[in-house]
Structure 1
Amino acid sequence: MVVPEGQPQPPRHRRTPTEPPPPPPPSRTPLRLLLRVASVACGIQFGWALQLSLLTPYVQELGIPHVWSSIIWLCGPLSGFFVQPLAGHMSDRSTSKYGRRRPFIVIGCASIIISVLLIGFAADIGGFLGDGEKKTRAIVVFVIGFWFLDMANNATQGPCRALLADLTGNDHRRTRVANAYYSLFMAVGNILGYATGAYSSWYKVLPFTLNTSCDINCANLKSAFLIDVIFIIFTTYISVTAIHEQPMTSVHDAINQESSHPQEAFFWEMFGTFKYLPRPVWLILFATSLTWIGWFPFTLFDTDWMGREIYGGDPNGDQKYSDGVRMGAFGLLLNSVILGITSLFMENLCRRWGSGFIWGVSNFIMFICFLAMLLLSFVASNTDYGSDGVPNGIVIAALVIFAILGMPLAVTYSVPYALVASRIESLGLGQGLSMGVLNVSIVLPQIVVSLGSGPWDELFGSGNSPSFAIAAAASFASGLVTILAIPRSRPEKPKTRQ
C-alpha cells in the first residue's frame, strides 16, 4: 500500500523471535529456460512442414489417385479431436518420477521419429516385401506411417504447451512470453522444413538413400525426413533437460494443481458446455469453421497445385511436377516468414482496430488470394510454355500469393483463440475447455474437406481449382460474419503517464 506524503505512515510489523518467517515469494522461471523448453516446437514443426509440403505429391507419386489423396489427411482432424485431449488428460494426472509432461514429450517425439522413418522408407520396405510396378505394399506402409505421424504430433503438442503453462503459472505476462517463444520456434521450424523440402539434391548429399526401389524424388524425401530425425532428437534433448519437473506424489495432488475443472480435457465434456455458450461465442465458432474450410484445401493441395497447374506436370514421375512441388515448398517458406513478421504486430493491430475487424479483413485477403490462384490456374492452362518452361511471371505471381497468405494465417493462428478465451473466461468454464470447444469448430470442417475435396475436384476435372473455389467462398462468408456479426471491442487507448 502506498501512503501519500504528509500522511502518517502505518506501523511496520516486527516479527517476534518465535514467529515463523514469511513464506518466500514464488520463484519465476528464467526466460532463458522458457526459451529452451519451447525449442521442442522447432523440431516438431520441422516435420509438420515437410508433411504439408511434400506428402500430398508423394502420395500421388506412389500411385494413389488425386481423388483419394485428401482422404489420407483425415487422420489429422480425427487425432486432433481424440488424441490431443486424451494426452492432455493423462499428463495432468501423471505421477511419473520424471515429471508430468516430460515423459509424454519424449514418448511423443520418439513416436514422431518412428513415423517419419516409416514414411521415408516406405518404398524400400515395399520393395523388400515384393512390390513391382504397383507399389501396393509401399502405399500400406506409407499410410500407416502417415496416420501414426498425425497422432504422434497431436499427442506431443498438448503436453508441450501444458509444460510452458506449468512453468509460468498465474504470471500472465510470462505466459504470453512463453507462447510467443513457442510460436517463434514454430515459425523457425516451418522455415527450415520448407527450405529442406525445396532443395532438390539431398540424394547427392546422402547417396545411400537412392536405390532401385527409391528414385530421386523418393530419395530426397527420405533424406529430408532423416534430417528431421536428427533435428527432433536435438531439440527434444534441449527442451526436456532444461528443467526438472517436480513429480506429483498422487493423482489427487496432480488434479489439485490444475484448475477447478479437472474433467475439462475430455471431449465429451466439451459437448455438454455448448448449451451454455452465448450467441457471440457461437458466432466466433461459426466464423472459425468457415475460415478453416477456406484454409484446409490450401493446406492439402498447395504444392500439388504448383506442380500440377502452374508447372503443368504429372505426379507419375514427371520432372516438371517435382520442380513445381519444390517451388511450392519455397513459396511456403516465404509464407512462414510473412507469418512470423505479422505475428509481431498482431497485438498492436488488434488493440488499434479491434480483433473482429482484423479477422474479417484477413479473411477478405484470403478470398482475394484464392481468387488470384483460380485466375492464375486459368492463365497457366491457356499459356503455351514452349521449350523455355514456365514463364517467370507466372511463377513469381504464385510465390507472391503464397507469401501474402502468411498474413491472414497469422491472424487465424491467434485471434480466434483470444476471442473465445476472453468470452468463455467470463462464464467460468475454464481456459482448457475453451480451447477444446474451439478445436471442435476446427476439426469438424477439416473432416468435411478431407472427405469431400478429392471427389469434388474429380467431379470438375481432377484439378485443384474446384476446392479453391469453395475455399474462396468460405473465406468471403467468414469475412462478412466476423466484421458484421461479431461484436467489436473498443480499441484500447494508450495509457498516459500520471
Structure 2
Amino acid sequence: MAQVSWSGTARIKGSSEATRMALLTISLIGIQFTWGVEMTYCTPYLLRLGLTKDKVSLVWLAGPLSGLIMAPIVGLLADKSTSPWGRRRPFMAIGTLIVCASLFILGWTSEVVSFFVQDPETKKSATVILAVLAIYGVDFAINAVQACGRGLISDTLPLSKQQMGSAWASRMVAVGSLIGYGFGAMDLTKLFGNSIGETQFKQLIVVAGLILVSTVGATCWAVEERILITNGKENEETTALETIKGLFRQIWDTALNMPERIAAICWVQFWCWIGWFPFLFYSTTWLGEVYLRFNAPADAKEHPDSLAQVGRVGSSALIVFSIVTFVSSMVMPWFIDGLEEETDGFTPRPPASIAWIVEEVQKHKPPLVSAWSYSHIIFAGSMIAAPFVTSLRAATTIVALCGV
C-alpha cells in the first residue's frame, strides 16, 4: 500500500502565541455572528412572510440536518484533498462565498422574486420558498466552514497545544455571540441610514457578510497548511462514496452498541435538546411578543419595521444570556469538583485571610454529574416559568438563567 506523503509544514503567522491562536480561531467570530443574526431575526422574518410557527419549526430542521450531513462529508472530502492551497482553507473559502450569497438572497428575497414574478399570490409563495431555501443554504454552507475551521486547530497545532486552541475557539465563539447580539440590539438604520439597506435585517445581513469574509479571510491568510501529496489509497477514485457510506454505517452501529452509561448521557442530551430547540429559535419571537403585549407604547405595533423592534428586544436579552454563559464558563470550574487543572505537583496556597472560605468551598464542591443535573433543573424551571411571564424584565431574567 502506498504511504501517505506531505509537502511543507503547518505554520501560523504571528509574533506571539496569543496572536497566532487568535488568527487561527478568529473565523469563529464571523461564524458565530452569522449564527446569531440567523437565530435572532430569521424566525420573526419568516413569520412576517406568512409562515405559521409550526411550519417555521420544520424550516429549522436545517440546523441539525446540516450538522449531521455536512460536517462528516466535508471533513472526509477535506481529508482527501490534495489542493495546493491546503485541505481546509479551500472549503472554508467556498463555503463562505455560498453563505454570503445565501444571506443576500435571504435579505433581498422579495426584490429577487419581484424581478421574476408579477402575480401577487405567486409572488408571496415564491418569496417564502426562496427564503427557506436561502436559510438552508446558509446552514449547510456555514456548517462546512465551521467544520473546516475547527479542523484547522487539530491539523495545525501540536497535540500539546490543541487544548489551548480549543479554549481560544470557545473565547472566539463567545466574542462572536456578544458582537452579533450587540449589533442586533443597535438601531443600525440610524447609524447607516439607507446606504446598505432600508431595514435593520438587511443591514445586519450586510454586516454579517463583511465580518464573515474578514474573519475567515484572516484565518486563511494567517494559516499555512501541509499539502497532502498522496493519502496512501491505491484506488482513491472509488473510495470517496464508500468512505461516506462507511462513516454513516459506523455512526449507526455506534449508536446501537454504545456503553450503557454513554447511552444514558446521550438520552439526557436528546431530551434536553428538545427543550433547547424552541429556546434557540423562538426566544426572540417570545421576547418580542412579551414586549409588545406588556411593555411597548401604544403606537409600537404600527412601527414600519416591526421586525427590527422584535430583533432588538431579543438581541438585548441574548446579550445578557451570552454574558452569563461566558462568566459561568469561566467561574464554574472553580466550584465543581474534578475540573481542576493539572498543576505538576504544585499546590497553590490561598492567603490566610481567605483560606477558611476556600476550605469551605472545597468541602461543598458538587461533582460534575451533580452540577450538570443542576443546570438541567435550572433550565427546566426557567421553561416552566416562561408562560407565566408578564414583563420584559422577567422574560430577560428567564433567558439569562438559561445561560447558567
* TM-score bracket for this pair, using the shorter chain length: 0.7 to 0.9
Asked if residue 248 in structure 1 is aligned to residue 228 in structure 2, the reply is yes
Q: Please show how residues 401-480 of structure 1 align to structure 2 within 5 Å.
A: 401-407=398-404
Aligned partners of 2:67 and 2:143 also within 8 Å: yes
Question: What's the counterpart of residue 281 of structure 1?
Answer: 262
CA 354–267 in structure 1, closer or farther in 2 if over 3 Å, else same: farther
Q: CA deviation at 1:362?
A: 0.3
CA distance 1:339–1:97, change in 2 (3 Å): same
Deviation at 1:153, TM superposition (A): 1.4
Output the CA distance in 1 between the equivalents of 2:138 and 2:306.
Answer: 28
- Between 1:73-82 and 1:315-324, the stretch displaced more is 315-324
**1:91 pairs with one of 58, 78, 83:** 78
Task: Provide Cα deviations, 1:119-175, integer angstroms capped at 9, x if missing partner.
Answer: 11112212323364763332222111111001011111111111101122321xx21
Out of 116, 120, 123, the position equivalent to 2:110 is: 123
Give the stretch that moved more between structures: 191-200 or 179-188.
191-200
Shift in Å, 1:322: 4.9
From 262, 272, 277, the counterpart of 2:253: 272
Following TM superposition, by how much is the alpha carbon of 1:306 offset from its aligned partner in structure 2, in angstroms?
1.4
Find the aligned partners of 2:222 and 2:195 in 1 and give their Cα distance: 35
Which runs of 5 or more structure 2 residues have no equivalent in the other structure? 1-8, 234-242, 339-364
Runs of 4+ in 1 over 6 A off after TM superposition: 26-29, 262-265, 313-321
Q: Which residue number in structure 1 is paired with residue 126 of structure 2? A: 137
Residue 158 of structure 1: aligned partner? 147
Does the Cα contact within 8 Å between 1:89 and 1:266 map onto a contact in 2?
no
Indicate the RMSD between aligned Cα atoms, in angstroms.
2.7
The TM-score, its normalising length taken from structure 2, stands at: 0.80
Structure 1 letter corresponding to 2:200: N
- Tell me if structure 1 keeps the 8 A contact 2:24–2:219: yes
Instruction: Check whether the contact 1:87–1:155 (CA below 8 A) recurs between aligned residues.
Output: yes
Q: Cα distance 1:27–1:95, how it changes in 2: closer, same or farther (>3 A)?
A: closer
CA distance, structure 2, for counterparts of residue 329 and residue 85 of structure 1 = 32
Match of 1:399 in 2: 396
| Residue of structure 1 equivalent to 2:167 | 180
Cα distance in 2 for partners of 1:188, 1:246 equals: 29
188-197 vs 28-37, which moves further: 28-37
User: Residues 346, 115 of structure 1: CA spacing in aligned structure 2 closer, same or farther, 3 A cutoff?
Assistant: farther
1:231 and 1:244, CA in 2 relative to 1: closer, same or farther beyond 3 A?
same
Instruction: Measure how far apart 1:343 and its partner are.
Output: 1.4
- Which residue of the partner structure matches residue 184 of structure 2? 197
Q: In the alignment, is the contact (CA less than 8 A) between 1:307 and 1:322 conserved in 2? A: no
Residues paired across the two proteins, number: 350
- Structure 2 match to 1:344: 330
Q: Looking at both structures, which has the greater relative contact order when contacts are Cα pairs under 8 Å and sequence separation is at least 6?
A: 2
In the alignment, what sits opposite 2:350?
none
Instruction: For residues 314-343 of structure 1, give each alpha carbon's deviation from its aligned partner in whole angstroms, at most 9, with x where no partner exists.
Output: 999786675344211111111111111111
Give the conservation status (yes or no) of the 8 Å contact 1:83–1:154: yes
Of 324, 333, 345 in structure 1, the residue corresponding to residue 319 of structure 2 is 333
Partners of 1:102 and 1:56 in 2: CA distance: 31
User: Offset of 1:92 from its aligned partner?
Assistant: 1.2
Identity within the alignment, %? 26
Give the Cα separation in 1 of the matches to 2:173 and 2:33: 8
Counterpart contact for 2:36–2:181, Cα < 8 Å: yes
Structure 1: stretches of 5+ with no match in the other structure: 1-25, 211-215, 254-261, 381-393, 408-498
How far does the alpha carbon of each residue in 1:464-488 deviate from its partner, in whole angstroms, 9 at most, with x for none?
xxxxxxxxxxxxxxxxxxxxxxxxx
Counterpart pick for 1:353 among 366, 381, 385 = 366
Question: Deviations for 1:255-304, whole angstroms, at most 9, x for unmatched residues?
Answer: xxxxxxx8898222111223442110100100110111110011121011
CA distance in 1, matches of 2:301, 2:60: 18
Q: Residue by residue, what CA displacement relative to the aligned partner does 1:348-394 show, whole Å, maximum 9, x if unpaired?
A: 32525322111100001101111221211xxx3xxxxxxxxxxxxx1
After TM superposition, give the deviation of residue 206 of structure 1 in Å.
Answer: 4.0
Q: Which residue of 1 aligns with 2:156?
A: 167
Match of 2:208 among 220, 228, 231: 228
> Is residue 34–residue 164 contact of structure 1 (8 Å, CA) maintained in 2?
no
Of 336-345 and 146-155, deviating more is 336-345
Q: Is the 8 A contact 2:49 2:128 kept in 1?
A: yes
Name the counterpart of 2:348: none
TM-score by length of 1: 0.65
State the AA in 2 paired with 1:334. V
Distance 1:151 1:224, change over 3 A: same
Which amino acid in structure 1 is aligned with residue 289 of structure 2?
R
